[in-house]
Structures are given as C-alpha cells and as structure tokens.
C-alpha cells in the first residue's frame, strides 16, 4: 500500500512538472535586420520592428570605418570594413527613434542617419 502511494505521488509530481513547463512559452525568435553603411548613408534608412520582439541588427560597412549609435536603446557599435557588427536589444517602447554614425567620415557625415520604427 505504501509503495503504491509513493508511486502515485511520484507520478502526479512528474505530471505536474511536465504540465508546468509545457505552459511556459518560448521567447520569440529575434528579428534580424541587415544594414549597410557607406559615405554618406545607411541602407535601408528606415527599419521597422515590433515592440517586445528581440532585434539583432547586423551592420556592414561598404567603404570605411563607421559607427552605429541608437541612443534611445543605449546601443552602439564600431562598423569595421570587412566585418559584420551586431547589436542586440529588445524595444519595449513604440515610436520612431533615430540612429546615426558617430565616427566622423567626412563632409556629409551628418547625413549618415536612419530611423527605427517600433510598432505595437
């Protein structure tokens, strides 16, 4: 009788653990955005993502050293020619946010900008 009770309780505990872990949703897969940067532009200039979904931005320089800065999300990277710079974050606020090159790249540097659009 005692062995049966232990076996039943063990089975119930196992079933409770399985049920609890089955209801936990996996985090959403990150949205991967590919950007290129060159004198004097990012492409694309407008990037749209969803609020609450992790984002990975992969940035490639087509000509020289540039920077990538997205101040609203405290994101920054050096973009070295021949390498892919990756920044990761999860936008928790909807709106439009500017990103820019923060390494001077010559006359026209101020035009190396873009907009991140975060939708609900």
What pLDDT does residue 74 have? 97
Q: Each residue of 66-75: pLDDT tens digit?
A: 999 999 999 9
d(CA 113, CA 46): 9
**Mean local confidence (pLDDT), 107-115:** 92
User: Per the structure block, which two tokens stand in for 2?
Assistant: 């005692």
Q: Give the per-residue pLDDT at 94.
A: 98
The verdict on residue 19 lying in a domain is no
Tokens 């390494």 correspond to 103
Q: Please indicate, yes or no, if residue 70 is contained in any of the structural domains.
A: yes
Assigned domain for 26 exists = no
Residue 2 lies in a domain: no
Q: Give the three-state DSSP class for 81.
A: coil
pTM: 0.78
Please check whether residue 3 lies inside any domain of the structure. no
Q: Is position 10 within any domain? A: no
Domain region containing 42: 31-119
> Is residue 97 pLDDT above 90, yes or no?
yes
Q: Residue 23: inside a domain, yes or no?
A: no
| Token pair belonging to 42 | 């990012």
19 SS3 class:
helix
If you ran DSSP here, which 8-state letter would residue 119 be given? Answer: E
First to last CA, the chain: 57
Q: Which neighbouring-strand residues pair with 97?
A: 116
Q: For 49, list phi and psi in degrees, rounded to 5.
A: -135, 175
**CATH number of residue 65's parent domain:** 2.60.40.420
Q: Mean of the pLDDT values across residues 104-117?
A: 92
pLDDT at 2 over 70: no
78-94 per-position pLDDT tens digit: 999 999 999 999 999 99
Please report whether residue 5 resides in a domain.
no
pLDDT in tens, 22-63: 557 777 899 999 999 999 999 999 999 999 999 999 999 999
What values do phi and psi take at 22, rounded to 5?
-70, -25
Total of domains in the chain: 1
């Amino acid at each position: 009788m005692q062995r049966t009770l232990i076996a039943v309780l063990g089975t119930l505990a196992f079933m409770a653990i399985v049920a609890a872990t089955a209801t936990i949703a996996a985090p959403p897969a990150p949205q991967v955005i590919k950007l290129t940067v060159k004198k004097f532009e990012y492409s694309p200039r407008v990037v749209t993502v969803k609020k609450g979904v992790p984002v990975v931005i992969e940035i490639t320089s087509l000509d020289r050293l540039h920077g990538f800065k997205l101040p609203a999300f405290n994101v920054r990277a050096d973009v070295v020619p021949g390498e892919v710079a990756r920044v990761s974050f999860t936008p928790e606020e909807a709106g439009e946010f500017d990103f820019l090159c923060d390494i001077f790249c010559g006359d026209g540097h101020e035009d190396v900008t873009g907009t991140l659009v975060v939708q609900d």
